[in-house]
Structure 1
Amino acid sequence: MVIGAPASGQGKTTVATGLMAALSRAPYGLDVAAFKVGPDYIDPGYHALATGRPGRNLDPWMQGEERIVPLLLHGALHTTAQQPNPARIAIIEGVMGLFDGKAETEGFASTAHVVELTESPVILTVDISHASRTIAATVGGVAAFEEGVKVEGIILNKAGSPRHADEVKRALRRLGIPVLGVLPRDEAIHVPSRHLGLVPAAERDESRQALDALAQRIADNVDLARVVKIAMTAPRLSARPWDPAAEVHPPVAETTTRPRIAIAGGRAFTFRYAETTELMEAAGCEPVEFDPLRDPALPPDTAGIYLGGGFPEVHAEELSANASMIASIREAIDAGTPTVGECAGLLYLCREVDGHPMVGAVDATAAMGPTLVLGYRDADGTRGHEFHRTTTTPAEPTMAPNVHASYLHVHWAGAPELAQEFCDATHAYASSRPDLKHHGDTEVGEGLVDLAVNVRLPGPPAWMTEAIMATLPGLGAYPDATAARAAIAAFHGVTPEMVLPTSGGAEAFTLIARAIPGDRPVVVHPQFTEPEAALLAAGRTPHRHVLAPPFTLDVDALPPTDLLMIGNPTNPTSVLHDGEALRDLAGPGRIVVIDEAFMDAVPGEHESQIHAEMDHLLVVRSLTKTWGLAGLRAGYVVGDPRLIARLAAQQPPWSVSSPALAAMVACTTDRARVEAQLAVVRTTRDRDHLIESLTTLGWDVVTPAAGPFVLADSHDPGTRARLRVRGFAVRRGDTFPGLGPHWIRIAVREPSVTDALVEAARV
C-alpha cells in the first residue's frame, strides 16, 4: 500500500513510519518492507529503524519505469542473515502531494505514478489542523483526480480535539472512503528539521525512543487490521524481482580476494541507497563502512572509496578535526584509489567547507548559501537528483582521473553501468597494488635455481646445528630467553633490557605495530613489505614515502611523522643509508625503527645504529639470512629499553623456541663472528661480479649495493617470466611499493651461477 497526502507537510512520514513500526511489533509482528517515492534519503533512515530492513526508494525518473516493480519485489523478498524472512507487507511512503512529480511532465515520478505502476491501494494522510468540512472537498478531489489511483482509506492527522475530528469525519461520509484513524496533535512524536528537511535518524540519539512512542500512538489510534486488509487488496505482481547480479558482474578473471570499498557512514554521511552496496557486492567487491568523524583512518586494504550524501556542513568542525582520517583519504587518493563523492562527498573532498580544512582532493571551497538547490537533473545520459544549500567555488575545473565528485545523487540501480565502471576500477587498482604478503619463497619452484630468496646458506653450519640439536632433549621444558638476551646484549655492547629476542623479524614488526605509538606512521619505500603489512593488520594506515631511483634518502624530504620505519641496507634496493642521519631523526615526538636484517653483510657494519644509547630508536635484526635459519625463525630487536618493554608486554609467552634461542647464542660466539666476516668478503666479491655481469645485459643496476642481493631494472616486464622458463627464479619487483614489473631482485650467488643466469637472460 501507498501512504499519500494532498500536499507536503501533511504527516506522511509520521504515519508511514508509525505504521511500519506498529505492524513490525507485537501483536502483529509482521516482516515489513519499507519504500519511499522519490530521491529522499532521510525518510528511509526512519523506515529502516522502524522495520529492521533497509529503507528503499522507488523513483521512475532515476531508476526507469520498467524497474519500479522489480525493485519493489526485490526489497520485499530480499533476505539476509539478519532478516531471513521475506516481507509480508510493503509500505510505500509517497512524496509531496499525491500527483506532484517532475515539473512539466504531467506528474512523472509522482506518488500517483508509482501507485499506477505498482497497482497499489492508497491510504491518504491529511493534516486537518487548519480546516474541518473542507477536508472532505480536498479528499474528494484527490480521490477523483485520476482513475488509476484508488484511495481506499484516510488517516486524519493533527486533530485539535475529538469534536474537531468528528466534524471532519461527518463531512467525509459522503465520499464512502473509510477513516482508519485519527491522530491528535503531539509534539512528542515530531521529527525536528533543519536546512535540508528532517534530521536523519542516525543523528538523533533519541530516535529509538521516539519511534517506540510513535508505534504506540499509531496502534492506539489507527485500525491496523483494516490497514492490513487494504494492503491485501493489492493484486499479485508478475514481474521478476530486480537482481543486482543481472546488472553487473565481477571481472572475468576472478581473484580469490574481493577488493574493499570504504563507504562513508556515521552521523555526517547518512545518505546511501541500499542497492548501491548490493551492486558493489554483485560486482565482486566488499563494501566496508567507516566513520569519517570517529575512525582514525580508512579500513585496511581499501581499494575504492565511496562518499555518499549527508551533512558535512553541519559536522564540518569535527570532520576537519579528524586530521588522521583526512590524511588517510588524501594519501589513498594520491596513490590512485578510485573515489566517488556525491554531494556531501563532494564537499568533504573540497579544500574547505565554511572555512574548515577538508581532504583537498578537489581544488574548490564550499560554503553554506541562502538558496536551496533542489530538483531532478540530466547529466550525459544519466539521471540524478540535486539537493543542497551549499555552493562550491572551484579554483580549477579539473580533478584527478581516479576521482569523480559532483552535487549529483545518482541511483545506481537505474545506471548500473556506473556501478560496473567504479567496481572495475576498484578491481584494477587492487590488482595493481603491491602484494605486501608476497615473499621471495613463493617464487621458488622445483627445478629452479633459487635467486629469489636472500638466505645465504641452504641450512645452518654444522657447529650451529650441533648447538640446536643439543636443545632437543630439553624440549619438554618451556624456553627461557635469558641466556640469549644476555649473549646478544654482550655481542652488541648494550644492556640486556635493551634486547628482545623474537621469532624472526616478522614477529618484531608485528609487535612494533601493536605496541609502539604514533598517529602518523611513515614507511620509506621501496623496502621490505612486512612493516607496512603489520601496521595495516593492526588497523593503522601508514603513509608511504616512496623514493625514486637511485633510492637514496633525503631526510629533509620526509613528511611529518611520529613513527618512521626504514631499512638499512634496504631490501630490495640494497642501498645503504647514512646511519648517523637516521639516528638524528630519532628524538622526542618521533620514534625511528630501522630494519637492519642485512647489516651483517656490510663490512664492519659501519652504519649500524646499535649503540649503548638508543633513545626513541629501535633496530630490528634477523639471523635468518646469514645463517640459513629461515625455518627456525630467529631474530631480535635492540633499542630504547622503554620501547623494548612495550614490545615485551605484547609478545606472547614463550614465542621464541629453545632451538631458536640456542641458535642466537651460537651466532654471538667468536667462531660465528669470524665466519660472518669471511662471508662478507665472499658476498662483496660475488656481488661485484653480479653487478658487472648484469650491466653487460643493458640492465640498470642500483649501485652502490650493500646487501647480499642487487636490484636491477631490466626494462622489460616479461624478464622474470622468461628467466623462470629457463630455470631461474628471481624476486619480482612489482610487489614492492615504488617498483614495477620490470624491476627484479637477484640474490648474490657464486660466479658460476651468475654466469649461467646472464647466459639465460641473453637467449
Structure 2
Amino acid sequence: MVALPRLVVAAPASGHGKTTVATGLMAALARAGHTVSGHKVGPDYIDPGYHALATGRPGRNLDPHLVGEDLLVPLLLHGAAGADLAVIEGVMGLYDGQIGGDGFASTAHVASLTRTPVVLVVDISSASRTIAATIHGLRTWARPPVDVVGVVLNKAGSARHADEVVRSIGDMLPVLGVLQRDDGIEAPSRHLGLVPAAERGDAAAALDRLAAQVAEKVDLEAVVRLARSAPDLDATPWDPGVVQWQSVVEPHPGQRPATGLPGQGARIAVAGGRAFTFRYAETTELLEAAGAEVVEFDPLTDTRLPEGTTGLYLGGGFPEMHAADLGANERLRRDIRTSIARGLPTVAECAGLLYLCESVQGPDGPAVPMVGAIDATAAMAPRLTLSYRTATAPADDLLSRKGEQVTGHEFHRTHLTRASTGHPAWHLPDAAGVATPSLHASYLHTHWAGHPHLAARFVAAAAAYAGPGLRHHGDREASAGLVDVAVNVFDGPRPRWLDRALVESLDEADRYPDAREAEAAVARRHGREPDDVLATAGAAEAFTLIARMRDWQRPVVVHPQFTEPEVALRTAGHVPDQVVLRHEDGFRLDPAQVPDSADLVVIGNPTNPTGVRHPAATVKALAREGRLVVVDEAFLDDDVESLAGQREAGVVVLRSLTKLWSIPGVRAGYLLAEPDVVVALRAQQTPWSVSAPAIAALIATSTEEAVAEGRARARELDRRRARLQAGLDELGVETVPSTAPYVLARTGAGSREALRHAGFAVRRADTFPGLTAEWVRISARSDAVTDELLSALRSVHPVLRKPVGIRHSGATVTPL
C-alpha cells in the first residue's frame, strides 16, 4: 500500500475556474513548503505546463482512454514520487466524459479509479442560493461514486454575495475559500484555449499573484487535511525502466532478436521552445529508459539539429502562431528536410505534422514556408477538431504494423489543404498525415505509456539509423584477400616517366614546395592563364577551400555523387540542400531543379557513382549572377563535355590525378576558375599544402605526351567498362548507362555481402544519398577480373531478393 495525500479539483462545467484554482493551489502549497505533484485529467497539454511552473515538477496527465484504466494509479504514483501531496485538475464538468461512453474518462471516472477526494470549484457570478442546489446535485448524483469533500467559490461579486452563497450551503460541505472576480489572475486564451505558460513572458509573475491570492483566501491547512484523508493505494508505481522492451520490438525477417535496450546508441532530438510545448512527460522518460539520449532543441532559434541526431521527435504546439519565425529559420528547415529525406527516423504529432508541410497559414496572415518534407500544405480550419479517437494502422510503418489499434486524441484548428503522398498514418475520419518506414506524421496524439511498442520501435529505429555514410570511402570495402572492384583507381602500372618524376621530387624535400610551376603547366595543358589555376592537395582540399570561401546562404549539392563536398560544407558550419536526381529520369539534371536562391551548386560530371555525364550546356545553365557552380571532373578523362578548357563566369572546375594515374597516396589535384575566385580560394589555403611529389605529378601529367597517354588510358577504361556492362546486361542485372570507369548496378539487397563471401569487394551504394542497398558500384578492371566477377555474380544473383523500386518523394529539392 502506498500513502499519497491527494485531491481532485473539479467543477460543474468548463469555465468555472478549475485551472486557475488548481494551479493557484499548487503554487500556494509549494510556496508553503510542500512538494506538490500536479496532474491533469484528460489529454490536455496546456494546463500541465502551468502546473509545472507552479510546482517545479513535470505536469502529468491521467486519461483512461489514452492509457487504459489499469495504468491510472501506477502513473499517478510514478508522477507523484517524492511529493508529499498531489493535486489533480479535472476536465469539463465533473461527470462529463467521452461522448457515448457513459462518463468514461470523466473527472469522476478518474477520481473513482484513483480513490481521490474531490474539491469543487464553482463560479457563483450569476447565481447565489442556486449554487447550493448545484453542489447538492453533484454530490448525490455520483455515477461513478465520488467523494466530494469541499468547495471553493470563485468569481464572487461582493462579500454580501459570497455570504449568501455560503449560508445556502450551510453544513452540507466545507467552504474552503472565496475568490473575488480578478481578471489579473486569468490566463489569456486564443483559438485552442489557454496560451501555454512557455509562451507567456509574464507567466511567472502572474503565478506569484495567483499564489498570493489563493494563500490569502483559501484555507490551505484544511486543503491539506482533506488531501491526507485520501485512502492508501494498492499499486506499484509505473516505471519506464521495467517495460519489457524486447517483447515489443520484433526483429526484421532474417535478423536475430536484439539484445539489451533497443535505443542504445540512439540520440533523439526533441523539439521544444515556445512553438512546441505539447508532449507528455512520460514520452521522454520512455525514450531514455530504452537507452536513448534525449536532446531538446528549439526550432525557433537553433540553426541545425543537435550533433549526432539519429531520431527526431516533433510533438504538438502552435506552429501556426509562430509560423513567421519558424519559416525564417531556413537553415534548420533545410537540415531537417535533408535529414528526413536521408531516412532519419521521425515522429511528428499534430504541430510536428504542420511543421513538416510545405507551408502553414497562420490565423491572420499568408502561408509561410515550412520544412517541406511532406508534400502538403496546411491552413486554418473553420472550426476546432477535438475528439478522442481509436485508430487502426493501414500498413506497416515506423511505429505501427498493419491492423494494430491505438487510442489517441485530436486537438487542432488546422487542416491540410493538399493531401500528402504515401499511405496515411492511421485509418481515421480525417486521414491527414503520412507514414513510411522512417516517418510517422499525423494529427493524432498518442500517450506512449499506454502504447509502449510505439516508443520501442521508434528508439530501435533511431539506434539502427546511420544515414548515408558521407565519410564512407570505397577503399573501406577492399580488404586483404578480396579482389578489389570497389576503388576507382586505374589498376595498370604507372608510366615510367611519372614514377621517375615522383622519385626525383624527393630531391626537393629539403625546401618548402612552390606550386607556381605546376600551375603554369596545368594552365598550358588546358589553354588557360596561370591566374586561372590553383594547385590543391587533391579534390578534397578544393572542396574544403570552397566551403570556407564564403558564408554560403543556400548551398546545394546535386546527388547521388561523391559525398566529400557535403562533408566539407557541413564541417564548415553550412547546412546544404540536396537535389537528388532520380533513377526514373536516368539520374539526369534539369537546371530548373536547383532553387533560384542557391548561391553555391556542386555537381559531379560524370557523376559518381552513376557514371551519368551531363552536357556542358546543362552545367553552364546553372551559372548566374551571385552563384558559384563547382563541377567535379575527377572522371572526365576524355575531356568530352568538359568545362576545363574555357573560362566560364561563376564556374569552378575541379580535377584530380588520383584515379587515372593511380596515385591516391600523393594527393594531387587542381581547380580552374576566374582569377578573383582563385585569389579568394588561395586565401583559404594552408601554406605549402601541396607537396613536392604532388607538384612533380602535376607538371609531369600536363605534358603533351602525358595528355596523349591519358586519353589512351581513358579509351582502355571505356573498353573495360563496356565489357563489364555487357556482362551485367547478359545476367539480367539492371545497370545505369555509364561514361565513367565504373558501373552502377542494381544487383539486389544482400548482393554486396554475397559477393564478399565469394571473394569480391564492390562499392556499397547506400551511403550515396538517393540510393539504397540494392545498388552497388563496380569498377572497370582487366578482362580476367571482370570475367571472374561476372561468374561469381552469376552464382549468387539468383538467390538474392528480387530488386524493388526506389521510393521517391516526388520533390525536386529533397530535404536532408
TM-score scaled by structure 1? 0.80
- Give how far 1:97 is off: 2.6
Where does the alignment leave 5 or more consecutive residues of structure 1 unmatched? 78-85, 475-479
1:19-30 correspondence runs (5 A)? 19-24=25-30, 28=33
User: 1:731 corresponds to which residue?
Assistant: 763
Among 593, 612, 616, which residue is 1:558 paired with?
Answer: 593
User: 2:67 corresponds to which residue?
Assistant: 63
Among 670, 678, 699, which residue is 2:709 paired with?
Answer: 678
Task: Look up the SS of the partner of 2:594 in the other structure.
Answer: coil
What is the alpha-carbon distance in structure 2 between the residues aligned to residue 226 and residue 422 of structure 1? 46
Q: Does 1:411 align with 2:407?
A: no
Amino acid at match of 1:546: L
Greater displacement, 267-276 / 561-570: 267-276
What is the alpha-carbon distance in structure 1 between the residues aligned to residue 547 and residue 55 of structure 2? 42
Amino acid at match of 1:467: S
Among 732, 742, 748, which residue is 1:710 paired with?
Answer: 742
Q: Does 1:587 align with 2:624?
A: yes
Greater displacement, 713-722 / 195-204: 713-722
- Give how far 1:68 is off: 0.7
Q: Does 1:666 align with 2:696?
A: yes
What is the alpha-carbon distance in structure 2 between the residues aligned to residue 201 and residue 373 of structure 1? 22
Q: Deviations over 1:319-377 (max 9, x none)?
A: 677777777777777777776654445556487647736659466765431x4443333
Q: CA RMSD in A?
A: 4.4
Q: Does 1:356 align with 2:381?
A: no
Task: Look up the SS of the partner of 2:171 in the other structure.
Answer: helix
* CA distance 1:679–1:721, shift in 2 (3 Å): farther
Q: Deviations over 1:254-305 (max 9, x none)?
A: 7998567665554444333333444455567666666666667777887766
- Give how far 1:566 is off: 0.9
User: 2:561 corresponds to which residue?
Assistant: 527
User: 2:10 corresponds to which residue?
Assistant: 4
Amino acid at match of 2:387: G
Retained in 1: the 8 A contact 2:91–2:107? yes
Q: Does 1:43 align with 2:81?
A: no
Q: Deviations over 1:704-733 (max 9, x none)?
A: 534xx3114263444433432333322122
Count of aligned residue pairs for this structure pair: 733
Retained in 1: the 8 A contact 2:334–2:577? no
Task: Look up the SS of the partner of 1:574 in the other structure.
Answer: coil
TM-score scaled by structure 2? 0.76
1:325-724 correspondence runs (5 A)? 342-345=349-352, 349=357, 353=361, 356=367, 359=372, 361=374, 366-369=379-382, 371-380=383-392, 381-390=405-414, 399=424, 402=436, 407-419=443-455, 430=465, 434-456=468-490, 461=499, 463-464=501-502, 467=505, 471=509, 483-484=514-515, 487-488=518-519, 491-492=522-523, 504-513=538-547, 515-536=549-570, 538=573, 540-548=575-583, 551=586, 553-556=588-591, 558-561=593-596, 562=598, 563-599=600-636, 602-603=637-638, 605=639, 607-610=641-644, 613-625=647-659, 630=664, 635=669, 637-640=671-674, 660-670=690-700, 673=703, 674=705, 678=709, 681-682=712-713, 684-693=715-724, 695-696=726-727, 698=730, 702-703=736-737, 705-706=739-740, 709-713=741-745, 715-724=747-756
Greater displacement, 614-623 / 312-321: 312-321
* CA distance 1:530–1:313, shift in 2 (3 Å): same
Retained in 2: the 8 A contact 1:710–1:747? yes
Amino acid at match of 2:450: G
Identity of aligned residues (%): 50
What is the alpha-carbon distance in structure 2 between the residues aligned to residue 536 and residue 253 of structure 1? 33
Among 89, 92, 95, which residue is 2:91 paired with?
Answer: 95
User: 2:400 corresponds to which residue?
Assistant: none
Task: Look up the SS of the partner of 1:509 in the other structure.
Answer: helix
- Give how far 1:47 is off: 2.2
What is the alpha-carbon distance in structure 1 between the residues aligned to residue 264 and residue 726 of structure 2? 39
Task: Look up the SS of the partner of 1:597 in the other structure.
Answer: coil
* CA distance 1:386–1:750, shift in 2 (3 Å): closer
What is the alpha-carbon distance in structure 2 between the residues aligned to residue 606 and residue 375 of structure 1? 64
What is the alpha-carbon distance in structure 1 between the residues aligned to residue 25 and residue 328 of structure 2? 40
1:217-256 correspondence runs (5 A)? 217-224=213-220, 227-244=223-240, 246=243, 248-249=245-246, 252-253=257-258
1:206-285 correspondence runs (5 A)? 206-224=202-220, 227-244=223-240, 246=243, 248-249=245-246, 252-253=257-258, 265-280=272-287
* CA distance 1:606–1:69, shift in 2 (3 Å): same
- Give how far 1:58 is off: 0.6
* CA distance 1:227–1:347, shift in 2 (3 Å): same
Retained in 1: the 8 A contact 2:78–2:239? yes
What is the alpha-carbon distance in structure 1 between the residues aligned to residue 263 and residue 455 of structure 2? 21
1:746-757 correspondence runs (5 A)? 746-757=778-789
What is the alpha-carbon distance in structure 2 between the residues aligned to residue 194 and residue 549 of structure 1? 48
* CA distance 1:583–1:300, shift in 2 (3 Å): farther
Retained in 1: the 8 A contact 2:742–2:780? yes
* CA distance 1:594–1:88, shift in 2 (3 Å): farther
1:130-141 correspondence runs (5 A)? 130-131=126-127, 135=131, 138-139=134-135, 141=137
* CA distance 1:514–1:52, shift in 2 (3 Å): farther
What is the alpha-carbon distance in structure 2 between the residues aligned to residue 466 and residue 222 of structure 1? 94
Amino acid at match of 1:191: A
What is the alpha-carbon distance in structure 1 between the residues aligned to residue 206 and residue 501 of structure 2? 76
What is the alpha-carbon distance in structure 1 between the residues aligned to residue 684 and residue 338 of structure 2? 29
User: 2:187 corresponds to which residue?
Assistant: 191
